[in-house]
């Protein structure tokens, strides 16, 4: 049997381990984390990601555990809605549930190796599924492929109350974003992002939450309500990192999947979705074609699309977190909203 070594047992690594043909490959997964994430956060799963979840056999469980998005409002920072759009077909799912369900369908034949990989194992095909700070990418693609620190801080968490009436959606301010979405019928997922010098490592959650409360205080009732219920132990704060553009995801017996290949800003909500699609696509090709052909086809199917999304996500971040262009942006959005309503 051919050996496949996966560095990283997150969304991409587990999906790949679950989808590879256990009769053809001896699969090993290295994962440095001992436990599932302790703070709950929510991920939007778009239809392509749901197809990938179906391919690994966990779509019904994800549908049962998650909550379907129905509509999404785009608002100014005071809460006035510019647009309301259907979000049919998108499911919000907790990252912990997704990881737990993926973990469950990884066959027992897969070897699990705990601990952080520092020097790359030299056996069969090596897969970098080790996220935006990928050691595999840095060692095989060189220092120019190192992750880049963005100036933005992201906070997210879940509060134990339903979404306040007419408060769901995204609020775009001057260099600041706040999001409110259902995590389930009884709980609310919130997120915020703005430029900050906090971090990149060792961010004090209480200080970040405090800063966020001061920044958004009094801007919109829905935001005040959600932030009043947010507690440091239920909040995650991190600086956003991205991966520079790559032309190929394969090199010298190595292949990249997920954030290791195309770590992007979170403003399109596509990173985890693309990680799932990468892994299921790669597994399907490896299961059915000779190795060189499979890797060639993987590049062809995945590089252009995921790099386009990476670039689109950066453009979206510039629009959402616009500073000097914010008044113009808001005027255009307000006008476009009025035109749409009167059409
Ligand atoms: C604020 C925010 C909101 C987001 N919202 C969404 C959303 O709504 N929808 C969406 O699709 N995406 C979203 N994303 C993106 C999503 O979180 C990532 O794209 C996704 O987690 C990528 O999965 P991955 O498995 O490639 O990487 P990761 O989730 O980073 O997993 C990598 C794994 O590798 C392990 N690892 C790393 N290095 C080593 C090593 N050296 N040795 C062993 N193990 C190692 C890590 O412990 C981890 O388990 C969001 C991201 C952020 C920051």
Domain boundaries, the chain: 2-339
Atom of ligand 1 nearest to the CA of 274: 11
CA dist 13 and 258 (Å) reads: 8
pLDDT at residue 111, as a whole number: 97
Whether residue 40 is predicted with pLDDT greater than 90 in this model: the reply is no
In short, whether 284's Cβ falls inside 6 Å of ligand 1 is no
pLDDT in tens, 293-324: 999 999 999 999 999 999 999 999 999 999 99
**Which atom of ligand 1 has the smallest separation from the CA of 156?**
1
Q: CA 211 to CA 266: how far, in whole Å?
A: 21
> Is 276:12 a contact under the CB 8 Å cutoff?
yes
What is the spatial distance between Cα 37 and Cα 235, in angstroms, rounded to a whole number?
A: 12
197, with CB counted inside 10 A (0-12, 13-18, 19+), is exposed
Q: What mean pLDDT do residues 202-210 have?
A: 96
Assess whether the C-beta atom of 130 lies below 6 angstroms from ligand 1.
Answer: yes
Residue 172 has pLDDT above 80, yes or no: yes
Nearest residue by C-alpha to atom 3 in ligand 1: 266
Q: Which is the closest atom of ligand 1 to the Cα of 154?
A: 1
7 in Cβ contact with 129 (< 8 Å): yes
> CA-based angle 338:339:343, to the nearest 5?
120
Find the range with the poorest average confidence among 71-85, 126-140, 227-241, 242-256: 71-85
76 lines ligand 1 (CB under 6 A): no
Structure tokens given for 178:
């706040």
CA dihedral 324, 326, 331, 335 (to 10 degrees): 140
Distance 125 CA to ligand 1 centre (A): 21
Say if residue 70's pLDDT is above 80.
Answer: no
pLDDT value of residue 39 = 85
Instruction: Kindly give the pairing relationship between strand 67-68 and strand 91-94.
Output: antiparallel
Q: Is the pLDDT of residue 334 over 90?
A: yes
Mean pLDDT for all residues in the chain: 95
| Ligand 1 mutation pick, 47, 67, 259, max ligand atoms within 8 A of CB | 259
- Written as six digits, the tokens of 242 are 């991205």
Q: Which of 8, 62, 95, 273 to mutate to test the pocket of ligand 1 (most atoms within 8 A of CB)?
A: 8
Does residue 185 register a pLDDT over 80? no
Q: If pLDDT is split at 50, 70 and 90, which confidence band does 1 have?
A: confident
pTM to 2 decimal places: 0.96
Name the residue of 10, 87, 92, 242 whose CB sits within 8 Å of the most ligand 1 atoms, as the mutation to test its pocket: 10
Architecture (CATH level 2) of domain 2-339: 3-Layer(bba) Sandwich (3.50)
pLDDT at position 182: 87
DSSP 147-198: -EEEEEEEEEEEESSPPPTT--EEEE-SSEEEEEEESSSS-EEEEEEEE--S
């Amino acid at each position: 049997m051919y050996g496949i070594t996966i560095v990283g047992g997150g969304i991409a690594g587990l999906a790949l381990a679950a989808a590879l043909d256990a009769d053809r490959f001896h699969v090993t997964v290295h994962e440095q984390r001992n436990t599932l994430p302790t703070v709950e956060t929510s991920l939007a799963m778009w239809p392509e990601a749901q197809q990938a979840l179906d391919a690994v056999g966990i779509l019904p469980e994800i549908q049962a555990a998650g909550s379907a998005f129905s509509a999404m409002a785009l608002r100014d920072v005071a809460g006035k809605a510019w647009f309301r759009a259907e979000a049919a077909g998108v499911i919000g799912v907790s990252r912990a549930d997704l990881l737990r369900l993926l973990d469950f369908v990884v066959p027992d034949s897969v070897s699990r190796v705990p601990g952080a990989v520092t020097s790359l194992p030299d056996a069969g095909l090596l897969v970098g599924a080790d996220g935006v700070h990928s050691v595999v990418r840095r060692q095989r693609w060189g220092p120019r492929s190192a992750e880049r620190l963005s100036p933005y801080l992201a906070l997210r968490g879940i509060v134990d109350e339903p979404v306040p009436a007419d408060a769901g959606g995204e609020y775009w301010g001057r260099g600041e974003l706040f999001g409110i979405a259902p995590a389930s019928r009884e709980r609310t997922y919130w997120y915020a992002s703005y430029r900050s010098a906090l971090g990149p490592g060792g961010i004090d959650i209480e200080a970040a939450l405090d800063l966020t409360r001061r920044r958004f205080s009094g801007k919109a009732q829905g935001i005040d309500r959600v932030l009043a219920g947010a507690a440091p132990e239920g909040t995650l704060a991190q600086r956003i990192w991205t991966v520079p553009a790559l032309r190929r995801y394969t090199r010298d017996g190595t292949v990249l999947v997920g954030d290791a290949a195309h770590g992007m800003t979170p403003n399109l909500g596509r990173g985890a979705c693309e990680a799932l699609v990468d892994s299921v696509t790669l597994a399907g090709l490896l299961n059915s074609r000779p190795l060189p052909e499979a890797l060639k086809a993987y590049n062809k199917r995945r590089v252009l699309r995921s790099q386009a999304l990476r670039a689109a996500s950066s453009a979206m971040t510039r629009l959402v977190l616009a500073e000097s262009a914010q008044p113009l942006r808001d005027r255009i959005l307000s006008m476009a909203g009025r035109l749409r309503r009167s059409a």
